[in-house]
Amino acid sequence: MSGIRFDDVWKEYGDHIVLEQITLDVEPRAFLALVGPSGCGKTTFLRMLLGEESPTRGKILVDGVPLSPEPNADRGVVFQRYSVFPHLTVLQNVLLGRELQHAKIVSRLFGAARRAAVDEAMALLTEVGLAGQESKYPASLSGGMQQRLALAQAIIRGPKILLLDEPFGALDPGIRADIHVLMKRLWNETELTVVMVTHDLSEAFRLATRVIAFERNRNRPEERERYGATISRDLEIFPRRTAEVRQLPTFRSGRDDPAKQGA
């Protein structure tokens, strides 16, 4: 539930300009898809939004507040790989968010607090279609199930923004269609603004409310270093898609600012 504003953002590595003149307003509850050729800075863009990298010039504002310089619980993320913890079971992976939130020192919950968190995690696992798998380790799950788990793990803390870095790129088409349905439902039912990097154009147009294409304006070898990629297309999907008004919340987000009705 947050608008994001990019204000003339540049990213440079030494002399090498990767992104230039990125000015973009993302409305709350948008589903933004980033497309573009490899090496054009899509992932760099996402990493700046995540707080892993900071822009060389310009500002990124979330709800008018500068982005915090480290990743934190406001922004959830799902990577293509390594998104779930291999040493935790499915249930523990989802519980982890709550445990880190409430038990600052021991990072584990006990008694009633744990039972409440387990109930919540189980509800979320049922939601993403992983009921019955909760005591398995991620290594024994299929790729699609691992990404479902990663989604559940990312949204248990109720992030405002969900960042997806080619999350479904490694899945085969049937599984991918299933997980698209899930992704759409999560986006409608929770209060997320989603930013997704993808290589798959049909995926971008099927899921997003808005598709942003990155491209280099100058691509001659001698110019590559000094001219970065910028936004070349900004397509609103027609007919216009909006997230549904939230019905009764299926699970608590854990934050105390509920989504505005109709937002």
Part in contact with other proteins (CB under 8 A); list of ranges 5-13, 54-62, 134-142, 166-174: 134-142
Q: How far is the CB of 149 from other proteins (least distance, A)?
A: 12
Closest contact distance (angstroms) between CB of 11 and other proteins is 18
DSSP per-residue string spanning 119-175: HHHHHHHHHTT-TT-TTS-GGGS-HHHHHHHHHHHHHTT--SEEEEESTTTTS-HHH
Residue placing its CB nearer to other proteins in the complex, 70 or 222:
70
Q: Is 50 exposed, middle or buried (0-12, 13-18, 19+ CB in 10 A)?
A: buried
Candidates 119-127, 135-143, 204-212, 241-249; binding stretch for other proteins (CB under 8 A): 135-143
CB of 158 to other proteins, least distance (A): 11
**Sites for other proteins among residues 143-202 (CB under 8 A):** 153-154, 157, 159
Q: Which residues of 115-127 are buried (b: 16+ CB within 10 A; e: fewer)?
A: eebbebbbebbeb
- Confirm or reject binding of residue 110 to other proteins (CB under 8 A): no
Cβ-based nearer residue to other proteins, 17 or 153 = 153
Site string for other proteins, 68-107 (x = CB under 8 A): --xxxx-xxx-x-xxx-xxxx-------xx-xxx--xxxx
Q: How far apart are the first and last CA of the chain?
A: 8
50 binds other proteins (CB under 8 A): yes
For residue 110, count CB atoms less than 10 angstroms from its CB and return exposed for 0-12, middle for 13-18, buried for 19 or more: exposed
The C-alpha atoms of residue 254 and residue 144 are separated, in whole angstroms, by 27
Q: How far apart are CA 227 and CA 20, in angstroms?
A: 8
Give the separation between CA 187 and CA 174, rounded to whole angstroms: 20
DSSP state of 38: T
Q: Kindly tell me which of 107 and 242 has the beta carbon lying closer to other proteins.
A: 107
Least CB distance to other proteins at residue 197 (A): 14
Does 137 engage in binding with other proteins (CB under 8 A)?
yes
3-state secondary structure of 258: coil
Footprint on this chain of other proteins (rule: CB under 8 A): 50, 52, 70-73, 75-77, 79, 81-83, 85-88, 96-97, 99-101, 104-107, 137, 139-140, 153-154, 157, 159
